[in-house]
Every structure is written in structure tokens, then in C-alpha cells.
Structure 1
Amino acid sequence: MLQSMGGIANYTATDLDRFAQELNRDGICVIRGLFERNLIDEWAKAFDLLLRERQNQPGGLAPREIARYYLTLPWVTPFANTEVFANPVILGILDRIFPQEYVMAQLGADIPVQGSDYQEIHRDFRPLFSDRVVTPLYALAVNFPLVEVTAENGPFQMARGTHVLPRDQGLAKIASGEIPMESFYMQPGDVMIRTPLALHRGSPNRTSQPRPMIVMGYVMHWLHTAKVDLTLPRDYYESLPEKIKQLLRCQVVERLPKEKVETYVNFKY
């Protein structure tokens, strides 16, 4: 039996097999209550401060259409946490999906605020070859919210199974209603793992509070990821076990820069 390092629930190997099967079939799986609420509360408090800082910095937030933003999280407490990015339940599922070595290449947040609208239905990655050749799951996004995700504050929406369809065929099935755009409602502590190849969109946040959704990106070791990056301070990096170091595709610096200019602006395919 595997127990999450930061969670309240136990998961067996059979559970992890089931999550991996859901990912392969549907392009998404949701793990309920993986992280403890006090961990999420700690992240939420730190995130609120970070968001206010970034809002006052030129280029501190990447625009994602109207009233929606993306920011890269700094590798500092509480965000630099092996119980989160190297959680054994998450890695146990990724181990079942990726047939080769994989690395973590992204730690950020998607933030719709009041005034946001539906995004255009899109993918975050292109197929490996052509749209007519089914692409294996070579990249996965691990998402978890810092607040409850409701119908009012901008739930992530996705059409299950569209990761194995040509884009035009998937869009046609969505338009006809054959495949619905499903909203994913989540509680703090829930974790979603999904393929960025499935057709999806953000929905409007109609509340007065931001809806931060953390995204951790994991990719096959050979995939070039120029739009996202991890920067770690040397003292923290050197303190990590060798196996964790190998998990991270990162730049190691003596100290983190005080300001971050976001470059991950173009994200739709």
C-alpha cells in the first residue's frame, strides 16, 4: 500500500493502475483528498502575497485572454516541497504512463479573475507527428486548486477522450454534443492529472476572488520545453536526494531573481 506523503488517503497499487487506465482512456483522472487541507492553506496564503507582488511588476503575470493570467511559482517555501512535486501517489501514476524517463519542467498557476470568459477550445501541445497519428501521453499536467472550484469561479472544462482524436474530429463531436465539455469541480486537496492534448478550455470566474489552479508539468525527458522553466537556488538543489535531482529539469542559481518576467504567453493549439 502506498500512502501519500502529504495526503489524507491511502492508495493501493490497484488504485494507481485504475488512475493510469483512466488517464489513457479519458485523458484525465482526479485523485480526491490527496493533499491535507493545512498544506493547501499554507500555499494559498503564500500565493495571495505572491500574486499581489506580481501584479505590481512589469511582465509579472502572463495574460491568458481577458481577466485570466499565468504565473510561474518561485522555488521557495512553501512551493518547494517534495511532498507535492515528488508525491509518491502522483509519481506512481506517472510511472505507469510514461514508458521512458520523465522530468518535471513546470511549476505555475492559472488564475481566472472576475470578468474572465470562456477560452477558445484548445490543446496545450501539438501532436508529436501529424494529427492523424495517435500521440502517446508524452506530457502530463498535474493540477490542484488552492480554493474550492465551483460552477461560479471558473472550473476547468475538458472533453474526455479527445486526446486520441484528430482535432477537427474532436471539435465536431463537441459541437454536436456527442462528447460533452465537462466541468471539473474540485475541493482543496484534490489533484487532477490530465493530458494537455485533450481538447479543453477555461470557463468564466464570476466571483470577486481569484481562482488559482496550480499546474506542475511533467514530460518525457527528450521533450524540449522552451516556454516553461524551473529555477532552483543552489543550496536547496544540493540538499535533495539524487533521485529527486534527476526528476527536475532546472537551472540552478546562487540566488533566485527578485523579479520574474513571464514568457509563457502562447499556449493554444
Structure 2
Amino acid sequence: MGGLYGDGIIGYKGAFSREWVQDLGEDIEELFQDALKRPGGAVGRGPKRYYVEIHPEKIRGFVDLVTHPWVVAVCTAVLGPHYKIVEIGFDVPGPGAQDQPWHRDFPAPEDTLVGRRLNSLAFNLTTVDVFEDMGPFEIAPGTQWDTPEGFEHDMFPPKSLYPRYLERAQRKMPKMGDISARSALTIHRGTANLSQKSRPVLVLGVDAPGADNSERHDLQFSRAYYEALPDEVKQHLTCRVVEELEPIVQAHSIEGLMMGEA
């Protein structure tokens, strides 16, 4: 609670084994290549940078992830016992990805601006060891509470505020097996990837009751997979159960990220 209400981000090192993450990375690479071939399968988040929302059953370890004691403890403490998983996908900043503009992932809700309450979290899990030249994630701690005065689309602050973010900025360079939780309202950006390596990262979105982020996503399970899930997982899902999985057309497009930072 202190970390997320303070800096807006916390992490847990070595939550998963490197072998577990290697399997995840293989699954993500296969899903990424498939998404690139389908119209609407991947959405741009800037030059050489993509986001893909996925079907949870297409990755090994989904149940391991959402039942991990740290993930459950963080969700319960910050969002309450009736939290809901609303999104799973991944970001891929490839070689040549540019600095993103500083931003939030969506406009701050009244619960946060007026009620001073965080009602959603984003968990991130890298599939590779991250180094300085690979375009690490950069975040400005404490900015989840900033009022969006002058923000374009209530998400993109004016460049006059950039010095404040640069003064606070922390670059995150996690290793395989590490996991973080953050408020997606904390001002952040992906930095330029100067390496020849991609930096895939899994994203898990979780809401408190009353948050509406599920409207931006299409979490789906086949009936057979859903019925085999533990009850402790089912009770925390906002999803569609279908006879056959349907292709996901990416809906959470962030228009202001389509161009790199000048």
C-alpha cells in the first residue's frame, strides 16, 4: 500500500524461475508473430513498438501467475477482496523503438482524482533480462496523483512538465523472474531501444469493483478451459466464456503513442 500510494510502483525479485519465464517468452513470441499477420491483431504504441491482447489459455503459466501469493496479496490489499482481472497482453518494444511521450495509460478516474483511491493496477513481467540499451521502462514516482490540467486526452502532459518528470525519473531494469505492480496513472514512458534485441513484457490488468477498464478489453476463455480453472481464479475474472476462442481485435489503442517523441 505504501509503495503504490507513494511511488506508484513496487516490485518483487525472483517471483518465478527463469525456466518458467523462458516458456512464457516462447509463447509470447509465437503469439506476436501470429498477431502481426492478422488485421487488428497488434496495435502500434509508437514506431517499432506493439501491444497485443491475448487469450490467457494461450500461454503456459496463466494460473501460476494469477494465483502467485504476491500477486494475490497486492491485489487484495490495494483493490479489495473482490478484485477482477480484466486484461492480459504484452508489449514488444523492438530494435529501433523511440522514446515515447510521457503519459498515463488511460485518464484518471474520479475515484483517484477526488477520492484519492487507486482502483486499478498493472502487473508487468519481463521475458528477458533488461539492460540500459534495450529501451527500459521509465517512470516518474508519485505522479499518479497529478491533476490532468493541460493534459491532452487527459493522458499526455504538456512538455512544460517534462523537466519535473525527468528530475524524478527512474529506469527499471528487471531480470527474468521479476514482477512489478504499478498504477497505470503514474506518469511513465518506454525509452529508445538502441540494442538489436526486443524487450517483451507481459501485462496483467486488475480492477477494483466499480472500475470500468474491462470495457477496453476482451478477456475470453473457451468453455472447456474456463470450467477447469480453480474457483479461486474464476471468482476474480471479468470475461466472456465462448465455445471457441474468437480473434481479439485490439481495442485499447492510445492514439498519442503512435508517433515517437520528437
TM-score (norm 1): 0.84
Q: Please state if 1:182 is matched with 2:170.
A: yes
Equivalences for residues 17-96 of structure 1 within 5 A: 20-79=1-60, 81-96=62-77
Match for residue 233 of structure 2 among 222, 244, 247: 244
Amino acid at match of 2:206: Y
> 1:256, CA displacement in angstroms?
1.2
Amino acid at match of 2:242: V
The structure with higher relative contact order (CA 8 Å, sep 6+) is: 2
Contact kept, 8 Å, 2:20 with 2:61, in 1: the verdict is no
Contact kept, 8 Å, 2:129 with 2:174, in 1: the verdict is yes
CA distance in 2 between counterparts of 1:88 and 1:213 reads 20
CA 1:180 to 1:206, structure 2 compared with 1: closer, same or farther past 3 Å? same
Match of residue 10 from structure 1 = none
CA distance in 2 between counterparts of 1:263 and 1:177 reads 28
Match for residue 263 of structure 1 among 235, 239, 251: 251
Equivalences for residues 1-269 of structure 1 within 5 A: 20-79=1-60, 81-99=62-80, 101-129=82-110, 133=114, 135-167=116-148, 174-176=162-164, 179-225=167-213, 226-257=215-246, 259-266=247-254
Report how many aligned residue pairs link the two structures. Answer: 249
CA distance in 2 between counterparts of 1:79 and 1:141 reads 20
> 1:100, CA displacement in angstroms?
5.8
CA 1:80 to 1:249, structure 2 compared with 1: closer, same or farther past 3 Å? farther
CA distance in 1 between counterparts of 2:149 and 2:211 reads 25
> Aligned with 1:143: secondary structure?
strand
> 1:80, CA displacement in angstroms?
5.5
CA distance in 2 between counterparts of 1:131 and 1:179 reads 24
Give identity over the alignment, percent: 27
CA distance in 2 between counterparts of 1:139 and 1:263 reads 18
Contact kept, 8 Å, 2:105 with 2:254, in 1: the verdict is no
> 1:176, CA displacement in angstroms?
4.4
CA 1:133 to 1:256, structure 2 compared with 1: closer, same or farther past 3 Å? same
Contact kept, 8 Å, 2:52 with 2:89, in 1: the verdict is yes
> Aligned with 2:41: secondary structure?
coil
Match of residue 153 from structure 2 = none
CA distance in 1 between counterparts of 2:203 and 2:219 reads 13
CA distance in 2 between counterparts of 1:266 and 1:141 reads 16
Gaps of 5+ in 2: 151-156, 258-262
> 1:65, CA displacement in angstroms?
1.6
TM-score (norm 2): 0.87
RMSD of the alignment, in Å?
2.4
CA distance in 2 between counterparts of 1:107 and 1:229 reads 9
> Aligned with 2:229: secondary structure?
coil
Identify the range of structure 1 (180-189 vs 127-136) with the bigger mean alpha-carbon deviation: 127-136
CA distance in 2 between counterparts of 1:156 and 1:162 reads 15
Gaps of 5+ in 1: 1-19
CA distance in 1 between counterparts of 2:40 and 2:51 reads 11
> 1:216, CA displacement in angstroms?
0.0
